[in-house]
Structure 1
Amino acid sequence: MHRIYDLDRFGIVCIEDFNAGAMENKGLTTYNVSCILAHKDSSTDGRFKHVNSVIGHEYFHNWSGNRVTLRDWFEITLKEGFTNLREQLFSEHCYSETVERISEVNFLKSYQFPEDSSPLAHSIRPETIESVDNLYTVTVYEKGAEVIRMMKTILGDELFVKGTDHYFSKFDGKAVTSEDFREALSEASGIDLSQFRVWYEQKGTPSLEVVKNYYCKEKNAYIIVVKQIVPEQDNEKKMPYPIPIKFNLVGVESKKDLVPKSEEILLLKDFEQEFVIKGINENGVLSFLRDFSAPVSVKDFLSKEEILHLFKYDSNLYQKWEAVQRVFRDEIIRAYKSKAKQVTLEEDTKKCLECLVDTVDDYEYLAMALSLPTFQMRIRRVLTEMLEQTLSPGVREIAASCQIKL
């Protein structure tokens, strides 16, 4: 997705009291000083990263927003979601890919998921609005980026770049729609992406349930049955989402990935679907939704022993982080239930943490992996546990304050 800048000069103006982070006017980008200025003696690493990503975002808008623009305001997720993805990929290239992905997922789960489960839930391309300002939401930006990332996952890097090059060439100087974008990707890749319109039309976060997953020794195969639950829609028939699921099987005995990388994507297209993974010669633990390959929630299906197995042996660093976070959340819940004054990690968890520190040399990743789950993630999990026992007014009040729909 490397695109040549078409002007001799990239103009910048900084305003201290600008009421937005930045604005991508053609040839003269406007920035709030907080999004462009940083100093090595007084700014954190996070501040430098933020400046880098904001400048990248506005620069990328030269093509995804300016040279190829929108037919109308309702298509804003095409401009902002696509550019947000380009910004994310740029940051992943500049820094630790896994750390950046974890940061993106943390933000999505902490802010976009609550919006999706609140009265403010809307699709990434709303059909009606009260004012244009209502279109600038985390759903339009963050979920919009995730939807295009899913298409990239299905196509693969090479075909996705081929598709975006075709899109920019075909529509240079024109005003387009999200359908034009998807069709351009399909034309260049030969892969039908038409079902993705569901992501643009339906609201809410779909959830996945692994109904079955087991090893069939007689067939040398691993069977996975996945079901998707679609949130209620406004007077519309619910349609299944296309959901790419990156996965692998971590061998119980070999402790290694059992599925070749070329085959580690399952495409869920129906409400329930069975996948048969052939050529598997030993039992394994299912490493599911690697790299958070779709903006969905997943119902817990692994035992603590299986989670710790992934914690120790999963080759995917995002999945290791996810396993650490799940263990931490469970420990917090255990302490809450027992009314303990402090959380004391169990011995097997301590050993896994020691193993992680000994085998991973990315200190930024380790700092993130060893951090407790965000407050939003902790409070949502605690509330889920509480709701299994009671629906008292106090619980409802807490849930409402956290934008959690009961």
Structure 2
Amino acid sequence: MPQDHSVVRLEDYQPTPYQIDRVSMAFRLDPMQTEITTTLRMAPRQGSNNSQALKLQGDEINLIGARLNGSALDASHYEATPDSFVLHKPPQETFILEFVTRVAPDNNTQLMGLYRSSGTYCTQCEAEGFRRITYFYDRPDVLSVYEVRIEAPKDVPYLLANGNLIDSGDMDTPEGFDTAQAWHYAVWQDPFPKPSYLFAMVAGDLARVEDHFITRSGRNVALHIYVEHGKEDRVAYAMDSLKRSMKWDEDVFDREYDLDIFMILAVSDFNMGAMENKGLNIFNDKYVLAKPDTATDTDYALIEAVIAHEYFHNWTGNRITCRDWFQLCLKEGLTVFRDQEFSSDMRSRPVKRISDVRQLRARQFPEDSGPLAHPVRPEAYSEINNFYTATVYEKGAELCRMLKTLIGDDGFKDGLDLYFKRFDGQAVTIEDFLASFEEACSVNLTQFSQWYRQAGTPNLVATYTYDAARGQMSLTIEQSCPPTPGQPTKKLMQIPVRFGLVARDGSSATFSGIRDAKSGGLIGGSDCTLLTLTNREHTYIFEGVSTDALPSLARGFSAPIHLRTNLTLEDQLILVLHDTDPFNRWEATQFVLMDHLIRQTRANRSSSIAVDQPVNAALIEALKTCLLDDSLEHAFRAQLLQVPSEADIAREIGKNVNPDAIHAARESLRQELAKALGTTLVELYQSLQDGGAFQPDSASAGRRALRNGLLDLILAAGEGTAKGIATAHYNEASNMTDRFAALAAMTLNRSTAADALLTDFHDRYADDALVIDKWLSLQASSPQEGTIGKVKTLMDHPSFSMSNPNRVRALIGAFAMNNPIQFNRKDGEGFKLVADIILTLDRSNPQTAARLANNFRSWKVLEASRQTSAERELRRIANTEVLSKDVADIVNRCLQ
């Protein structure tokens, strides 16, 4: 077990006793012995206790020499270890501290600090990677201006860093290097103070794609995307997404880009999705490279969103950064909200909202209800890399959305404008962020701030009654929040609930006003669409209700909550057909489907012979009506077709979960829907034939989504003629979206033709790693017996590499995340497989290993025998003699 179990606590925050206002760095690149000279201009911080020694962080640092104010430091003046540098008696006025360090990029398997990916030198410094390059105050509140000189042989033509290029040219070959090699250099200067986590350096023999963008003030910004040679034809959509992001941020948030150049590097070895380093974003190539015959519509949408996300960080994260890592949601949650809004404007806003909520429920809700639960702003951590979570990102975005809902669009813009004006160039806190809105909008957000401090998903229970004689509706809503680790009791939350009324006959329903039942005071008039909960229980009286109507609550998913109502199945079906809010129309469909699935799951568990529950005939008719409604977007209809996932069902059941019973229930429902809608599905599928040349726009993607969803459901009824339809769909596909959809439908529906098509698919794309990732993931996601053996076989496949995070996520991550029936096997073999890989990977890449360990977070909701198997593997990992802090933190929290 690792010896360092130190916990960092928010309450212990103190500014550094010294500040670093300027950093100069010189890199002399070599795969095994890159030499880095770092010069820090430092000064005591006013008001700090500077009698103490100066201590800087390191991580496996190889120190060659140190100088103070130009003179070599005697060993008696300092203490240096690979993990820290301590200067015993630092000067009490401005001084210059210089280090020479040496690193081996080719040996850096952690992919943090400076490493090489396919021959390209690159860095990853968030959260604490800069300390693997040199000694530093490696924390986000130390803001410095950087100047970086990069030296390398000329066969490394591109030398890049943050900011603007200020000098470049030829140089003499350094002493000790082959004089036959010509060398050159480049000097970059970033005029904007930044924390060390935003530092970036890149060097390699790359292909460059160029464009430009004219800002609204008339500045011409050069846009460069760097990729491996031969992949230039795959960056057009990324470049287009970047330009649209820049324009959108000017139009919607009044944010203009501030440097002369914006660069993106795509690399194949990357722990994360992308990194927003100032002016030089480094991306996992998965989120840059796309062309119709290698990327799906999902890939295009993700590229658009991630490009936008990292660009938007230029203001929400870079120009204004977080004071400490506890404030991580300040940059990530706000920027996720911004990229969601961008994608909503670029595509279908209702469908984007449904997609975001699906992801929130799939990733964040289980986090909130399990041993890894933590507030959006945590109070303590032992390993910061493990808090780049769905809670910080996705739930953090929901908090921004709720804030906008509460104070209105204009108020939200005024608050953000004040925030940008007041804190530009600073490292700030959640309190600073909220204070900007309080001042700009004259509101009190004290209760709202509890959303940042409390873990867990609030429960709302809503009960309504309708009094036809009085023309009144009574609506009572009660809130509660379950206990979570470290927070057994919760304070009341401020919760915005958007609402509408839906008449039972489908006509419009109106009301004259809303009163508080307790005080009798008027809450809102006939135009009111928002209720704000602040107490444990509220009862509202809707007066002058024009007709018998149903409440449509939490429209647009106005808060990240669990909502339960006394609406019947018949009431929900009325919402399916007539709700004018697209999200709640979809939500009602999911409710009716989920009700059936849970009843079927319980029937499967209580009998050794599956007893099929009848599918609600009215639901069949409602789905049919919606599918044939041409006024509805194709993409929205595709969402209505999707039966809740096995993970969704497990989350709703909540305890003593049997994945086998859930899987059987879901497959049974899909088969029944396919049979009941058979002719409708086939006829609609045939009407949506390929529309010609591939276009990545929202409408075209929506048509493909509906057609491919129909194909999947048609196959669920059994092969028959469906096998021929699916095979033709695969063979005749003009793009990856359609071809892979057919392959996935055949594989996951266990078609007899699947193996032949999997072989054909591999042969077509054997040389394309990102496409082969899809091939790996699909096989790892198959629910059929034998998948564990298949995964083990694929680990020996030439396309798989344990050293590449994309390959690990594609195969092992897909198995653990997307295959609940095999991962959660009764015999424990699924848990054992993933635990073995975690232990193997932990020795080389602890971050990726820890992310795999996250998949054990819900083990306590399983039935007892499966819990025993999962706990055995978690304890095996925890008791390993040498274990990284990253993995130990996740596993120990899972076992609490």
Structures share fold, TM-score greater than 0.5: yes
Secondary structure in 2 matching 1:276: strand
Specify whether residues 343 and 43 from structure 1 end up closer, same or farther in structure 2 by C-alpha distance, changes over 3 A only: farther
Aligned pair 1:110/2:110, yes or no?
A: no
Q: In structure 2, what residue type is equivalent to 1:31?
A: F
Q: What residue in structure 2 maps to residue 51 of structure 1?
A: 303
Whether contact under 8 Å (2:650, 2:657) holds in the other structure is no
Whether contact under 8 Å (2:509, 2:546) holds in the other structure is no
Give the alignment partner of residue 374 of structure 2, picking from 116, 119, 122. 122
Deviations 1:341-387 (A, max 9, x none): 76763321121112212334311111111111122112233456979
Whether contact under 8 Å (1:324, 1:370) holds in the other structure is no
Whether contact under 8 Å (1:151, 1:193) holds in the other structure is no
Specify whether residues 120 and 383 from structure 1 end up closer, same or farther in structure 2 by C-alpha distance, changes over 3 A only: closer
Give the alignment partner of residue 312 of structure 1, picking from 555, 577, 580. 577
Higher mean displacement: 336-345 or 350-359: 336-345
Specify whether residues 7 and 235 from structure 1 end up closer, same or farther in structure 2 by C-alpha distance, changes over 3 A only: closer
Whether contact under 8 Å (1:257, 1:314) holds in the other structure is no
Whether contact under 8 Å (1:92, 1:100) holds in the other structure is yes
Q: In structure 2, what residue type is equivalent to 1:227?
A: E
Secondary structure in 2 matching 1:299: strand
Specify whether residues 294 and 302 from structure 1 end up closer, same or farther in structure 2 by C-alpha distance, changes over 3 A only: same
CA distance in 1, matches of 2:547, 2:412: 34
**Mapping of 1:61-72 within 5 angstroms?**
61-72=313-324
Unaligned runs of 5+ in 1: none
Q: What residue in structure 2 maps to residue 367 of structure 1?
A: 638
Q: In structure 1, what residue type is equivalent to 2:568?
A: S
Q: What residue in structure 2 maps to residue 141 of structure 1?
A: 393
Give the alignment partner of residue 376 of structure 1, picking from 632, 644, 647. 647
**Mapping of 1:4-403 within 5 angstroms?**
4-210=256-462, 212-217=463-468, 220-232=471-483, 234=486, 238-253=490-505, 255-258=507-510, 262-339=527-604, 340=610, 345-359=615-629, 360-382=631-653, 395-397=863-865
**Structure 1 residue 221, shift from structure 2 partner:** 3.3
Q: In structure 1, what residue type is equivalent to 2:429?
A: T
CA distance in 2, matches of 1:385, 1:263: 42
Deviations 1:277-316 (A, max 9, x none): 3332222111111111111111242101100111111011
CA distance in 1, matches of 2:475, 2:632: 34
Count of matched residue pairs: 400
Secondary structure in 1 matching 2:381: coil
Q: In structure 2, what residue type is equivalent to 1:377?
A: D
Whether contact under 8 Å (1:207, 1:228) holds in the other structure is yes
Specify whether residues 373 and 323 from structure 1 end up closer, same or farther in structure 2 by C-alpha distance, changes over 3 A only: same
Deviations 1:162-220 (A, max 9, x none): 2211211121111111111111112222232221221111111111111x312244654
Whether contact under 8 Å (1:159, 1:188) holds in the other structure is yes
Higher mean displacement: 351-360 or 131-140: 351-360
CA distance in 2, matches of 1:224, 1:393: 33
CA distance in 1, matches of 2:374, 2:450: 13
Whether contact under 8 Å (1:123, 1:203) holds in the other structure is yes
Higher mean displacement: 303-312 or 218-227: 218-227
Q: What residue in structure 1 maps to residue 704 of structure 2?
A: none
Specify whether residues 254 and 320 from structure 1 end up closer, same or farther in structure 2 by C-alpha distance, changes over 3 A only: closer
Q: What residue in structure 1 maps to residue 849 of structure 2?
A: none
Q: In structure 2, what residue type is equivalent to 1:286?
A: P
Q: What residue in structure 1 maps to residue 42 of structure 2?
A: none
CA distance in 2, matches of 1:229, 1:193: 19
CA distance in 1, matches of 2:597, 2:861: 23
CA distance in 1, matches of 2:867, 2:530: 35
Higher mean displacement: 74-83 or 250-259: 250-259
CA distance in 2, matches of 1:299, 1:255: 25
Specify whether residues 332 and 179 from structure 1 end up closer, same or farther in structure 2 by C-alpha distance, changes over 3 A only: same
CA distance in 2, matches of 1:261, 1:65: 41
CA distance in 2, matches of 1:109, 1:404: 19
Whether contact under 8 Å (1:68, 1:172) holds in the other structure is yes
**Structure 1 residue 254, shift from structure 2 partner:** 5.2
Higher mean displacement: 152-161 or 48-57: 152-161
Secondary structure in 2 matching 1:290: coil
Specify whether residues 57 and 221 from structure 1 end up closer, same or farther in structure 2 by C-alpha distance, changes over 3 A only: same
**Structure 1 residue 256, shift from structure 2 partner:** 2.2
Which has the larger share of strand? 2
CA distance in 2, matches of 1:341, 1:329: 17
Deviations 1:314-334 (A, max 9, x none): 011111111111111222234
CA distance in 2, matches of 1:171, 1:232: 35
Secondary structure in 2 matching 1:286: strand
CA distance in 2, matches of 1:170, 1:217: 54
Whether contact under 8 Å (1:117, 1:404) holds in the other structure is no
Specify whether residues 36 and 257 from structure 1 end up closer, same or farther in structure 2 by C-alpha distance, changes over 3 A only: farther
Higher mean displacement: 83-92 or 170-179: 170-179
Which has the larger share of helix? 1
Whether contact under 8 Å (2:657, 2:861) holds in the other structure is no
Specify whether residues 397 and 213 from structure 1 end up closer, same or farther in structure 2 by C-alpha distance, changes over 3 A only: farther
Higher mean displacement: 359-368 or 59-68: 359-368
CA distance in 2, matches of 1:94, 1:36: 18
Whether contact under 8 Å (2:655, 2:861) holds in the other structure is no
Higher mean displacement: 119-128 or 212-221: 212-221
CA distance in 2, matches of 1:16, 1:37: 11
Structure with larger Rg? 2
Whether contact under 8 Å (1:285, 1:306) holds in the other structure is yes
Q: In structure 2, what residue type is equivalent to 1:290?
A: R
TM-score with structure 2 length normalisation? 0.42
Specify whether residues 262 and 342 from structure 1 end up closer, same or farther in structure 2 by C-alpha distance, changes over 3 A only: same
Secondary structure in 2 matching 1:225: strand
Specify whether residues 344 and 36 from structure 1 end up closer, same or farther in structure 2 by C-alpha distance, changes over 3 A only: farther
CA distance in 1, matches of 2:392, 2:369: 15
CA distance in 2, matches of 1:171, 1:29: 23
Whether contact under 8 Å (2:656, 2:861) holds in the other structure is no
What is the RMSD computed on CA atoms of the aligned residues?
2.7
Unaligned runs of 5+ in 2: 1-252, 512-524, 605-609, 659-859, 872-892
Whether contact under 8 Å (2:506, 2:578) holds in the other structure is no
Q: In structure 2, what residue type is equivalent to 1:6?
A: D
Whether contact under 8 Å (1:256, 1:313) holds in the other structure is no
CA distance in 2, matches of 1:292, 1:117: 19
